[in-house]
Amino acid sequence: MKSFFSIDQAAALDQADSMSHMRQQFHIPQVNGEDCLYFTGNSLGLQPKAVEAALALELHDWKTLGVEGHFHASNPWMPYHEQLTASLARLVGAKDSEVVAMGSLTSNLHLLLASFYCPTQQRPLLLCEAKAFPSDRYALMGQLQWHGLDASQLLEVHGDGHEGLPTTDNIIQAIEEQGEQVATLMIGGVNYLTGQVYDMQAITQAAHAKGILVGFDLAHGIGNASLNLHEWGVDFAAWCSYKYLNSGPGGVAGIYVHERHHGGDRPILAGWWGHDKSTRFSMPTDFSPIQGAEAWQVSNAPILSMASLKASLSLFDEVDLDELRKKSLAQSQLLMDLLTAVSDDLNEPIHLITPREDAERAGQVSVAFLNRDRGFFDQLLAHGIIADWREPGTIRFAVAPLYTSYRDLARLEIALRQALTS
């Protein structure tokens, strides 16, 4: 069978890959007795092998120490979240004081928007991208309703991208034209459907010039795209950790709050875990917030979930993030070239949705097989290709450089050609 990218070529690239050994740190699901082709780390990352021991340790300490584990566990539970801080700060380009592992993505967005969306008569608008991830839009609409406003105050920016999604230029143009009425901007820094990476620095600068507070949903950004939130001046951000960070289903999420917002008079939906640690157990009546992102915590840490995330973050700690980014770009470029070659060779109309420019993409390649339906996707599953289907006809393939091999891509081409000609 004809091929664009052969198994032998893949083997040479894997041999030269300084990160190839990291794949051995993950459990790869098996299909028909061999490693599946796992291209859906943008939905749920694979399980690091270290997770089992990490969870076993906390379960043992809970079994043998009970409540005393808060102070005397191998990793004391009271300050457990602090063990994740430096790793998360490195991944998002922030100071340690600006990040904290906590909560879940959408609940964290609500907590942050309670502080950073304070509409006035002059500035009632919330700005987001058209066709935002549904949960984000639900949260934004909920915030509007909470303030007694309606959908007319949600400025959804349409544009020139796939199915009317905005480009960075479209968003900046909307800021220029309507920014003086906008209180807060909150968009997905990496679009979940197309994989497009927005120029978050340029958007932040344009919005701040108009007096707009800026936040990003980084569910598809953290562990996938290059981030430098502090230097860019982003006001707030939130993310989940079960995608590229491999923390497991429903894993603990996280937030970022720029240091200029620490300790000010910005409203906070307070909880006792955000209270000053030195007096927390004195049970004072009045809330005294921690001077940092930890002030937005409302409840004590979910230790078992954090143990899983800690095991995964230790793997990120071992790699150079610039090299991680380079491999992500190289593999996603190869995947796009591979799909184009298959389309040309088989006269099969395949539409690439993800931008080809390096600055505008990360590890996800979204594609539409124009003459195929959901049945074709089911064929791919039968061939051991685990990807992601999004209605009405988009298949999302995601490379995750810690465990995606070049051999995976060569095998993917073989399986695609077989499925398309069978």
Residue closest to 409 by CA, chosen among 375, 372, 363: 363
CB 402 within 8 A of CB 315: yes
- Domain limit, last residue, from 317, 351, 369: 317
Q: d(Cα 257, Cα 289) in Å, to the nearest integer?
A: 14
Q: Say yes or no: 356 and 379 in one domain.
A: yes
pLDDT at 1: 67
pLDDT at 338: 97
Q: Is residue 89 situated within a structural domain?
A: yes
Q: Is 249 exposed, middle or buried (0-12, 13-18, 19+ CB in 10 A)?
A: exposed
Q: Say yes or no: 78 and 221 in one domain.
A: yes
- Domain limit, last residue, from 295, 317, 339: 317
**Sign (positive or negative) of CA dihedral 351, 357, 359, 362:** positive
Distance of CA 378 to the CA centre of its chain: 26
Q: Say yes or no: 35 and 66 in one domain.
A: no
- Residue 144 maps to which CATH number? 3.40.640.10
Q: Say yes or no: 111 and 219 in one domain.
A: yes
Along the chain (422 residues), what's the average pLDDT of each consecutive run of 10 residues? 91 97 97 94 98 98 98 97 98 98 98 98 97 96 97 96 93 98 98 96 98 98 98 98 98 98 93 93 92 96 97 98 97 98 96 96 95 90 91 92 98 94 88
Q: Is residue 1 situated within a structural domain?
A: no
Q: Say yes or no: 111 and 214 in one domain.
A: yes
Phi, psi of 139 (to 5 degrees): -65, -45
Residue closest to 381 by CA, chosen among 339, 421, 419, 332: 419
Tokens 């949960």 identify what position?
A: 135
Q: Is residue 2 situated within a structural domain?
A: no
Q: Say yes or no: 80 and 38 in one domain.
A: no
Q: Say yes or no: 336 and 303 in one domain.
A: no
* Residue span of the structural domain in which 203 resides: 55-317
- Domain limit, last residue, from 290, 317, 344: 317
- Residue 364 maps to which CATH number? 3.90.1150.10
Q: Say yes or no: 170 and 142 in one domain.
A: yes
Tokens, residue 235 = 């006001």
CA-to-CA separations, 28 to 24, 170, 403, 408, in angstroms, rounded: 9, 40, 9, 12
Q: Say yes or no: 253 and 183 in one domain.
A: yes
Which helix (H) or strand (E) covers residue 188, if one does? strand 182-188
Q: Is residue 14 situated within a structural domain?
A: yes
Q: Say yes or no: 63 and 25 in one domain.
A: no
Q: Say yes or no: 243 and 384 in one domain.
A: no
Q: Say yes or no: 28 and 168 in one domain.
A: no
- Structural domain count of the chain: 2
For residues 109, 112, 115, 116, the Cα torsion angle rounded to the nearest 10 degrees is -80
Q: What is the pTM of this model?
A: 0.97
10 Å Cβ neighbour count for 2? 9
Distance of CA 399 to the CA centre of its chain: 13
